[in-house]
Amino acid sequence: MGTKAAVGVGVVAALVLGYAAADVFDVAPGILTTSAPAAKPAAQRVPGLEQSGGPRVLAPLHADAPAPTRPALRRELSNLLSAKALGKSVGFEVRDARTGRALYASDAKKPHTPASTTKLLTATAALTALGPGQRFSTTVRSGPGKDDVTVQAGGDVLLGRGKSKPSSTTGHAGLGTLADKTAAALKKKGRRTVAVHLDTSVFAGPARNPLWAQHSVQGGQVAPIEPLMVDAGRVKDGQNIPRASDPAMAATTIFAKKLEADGITVVGKPTRTHAQAGSTVLARVKSARLSQIVRYMLQWSDNTVAETLGRLVAVQTGRPGSTLGAVDAVTDEVKKLGVDVARVELHDTSGLSHHNRLTAAALTDLLVLAASGKHANLDSLIPSLPVAGLNGTLQYRYGKAAWPGAGLVHAKTGSLFKVSSLAGVVTDASGRMLTFALIADRTPPDDVESTHRAMDAIAARLAECGCAG
């Protein structure tokens, strides 16, 4: 087997193993992805692994599998691409994952509003700039006064309210554990009374993006962006409404209450300050690895996590931790990888803004890079995508009629008013891995389900079609 084919088989194995591990790690509290969906496509052998049943995870890759031809893809896809449910503004491209060659395209280099497929750029930038093993610290320091402690935010917005949960992505670091450690350190120093402060200076600029629709914030689709939150600003576990209006201070208030429960008297309410350089570290907890956080973000299209990661990339690359710093940093990072960003215009890093512009070609550029095996930091990107009919935002989209794409389509979804997008990978019936991106930004506003079905039909057709002639 050739080197490139071996890389492809490695990607498949990583996909299967990655999903099995992530289910154990409880990446989405209250949602179990180990159960099969309503539709149960037949099991099929994947190189190196035998599945006993349930949804397939890609198809076997074959070293000598022929690439689809443009005429065959046009024959199979042209009618599907002209579906009324997609509207009149559609960008689409299919590329060979092995060679990167464009196989079929329609307005692929025309900028469209991408919705949450924007998060693929954010994930790529975060993994390359920060590294998949990066973890974000929440630290308690002495000061600024002799009877003060300061909670120094480091970018963990998936903190838990209680004890740390090492096997989980959300709540991996817990405020209860941080308080326990702080209380123990204070008591060791003979301190029993403190005032609590908060330092969020790692981020800069407004916490809310003025280009977001008001209902996005009010409806709980995103929280004000600060570098310290419990469960991405959710007030109740697993519920998007309501979100805290000041997530960092809400988290610090929880910490203060936990500190009191540990026998430390807290004077007054928490206030904001700046931690003193060189001050004593009393306690620290660390988030899950970045690769796990990225998977959570892509699986459930978490806007708050995406915006936070964008700002962390900005800080890492020497920019202000603001919205403007984030969009510049993300765009620059993917450009350095060779992605054509000439017609890319970002106004956030989550895809909530209707002002964002992205091409289908830029998305397939990125996906080819991730599938190539040439960038070790990107090895976890494709295994982090939702799987049709199995998990994440594709969990229920392929489960009603035993679609051939169930278990075989791995893709990031996107949805805004009159906008739908889908970008990811499939392995076709010949065993050739393909990358694809589909963006429709003038869809009928009153039938989103039909739009999703039209998009899913295209991805499913790629999966079931050999299309080599």
- Asked if 229 and 243 touch (Cβ cutoff 8 Å), the reply is no
Q: DSSP labels for 188-223?
A: HTT--EEEEEEE-TTS-S-SS-TTS-HHHHHTTS--
- Asked if 259 and 183 touch (Cβ cutoff 8 Å), the reply is yes
**Is 301 marked active-site?**
yes
CA Rg value for the chain? 23
What is the Cα–Cα distance from 425 to 127, expressed in whole angstroms? 19
Rounded to 10 degrees, the C-alpha dihedral 83/87/91/92 comes to -20
Residue 91: closest CA among 414, 459, 360:
360
Which residues, at least 6 apart from 337, have a Cβ–Cβ distance to it below 8 Å?
Answer: 124, 128, 366, 369, 375
H-type helices in 206-322, by residue range? 214-218, 247-261, 290-300, 303-316
**Is 201 marked active-site?**
no
Distance separating the N- and C-terminal Cα atoms of the chain: 24
**Is 286 marked active-site?**
no
User: 301, 322, 350, 384: which is the annotated catalytic residue?
Assistant: 301
Could you give the residue numbers annotated as active site? Answer: 116, 119, 301
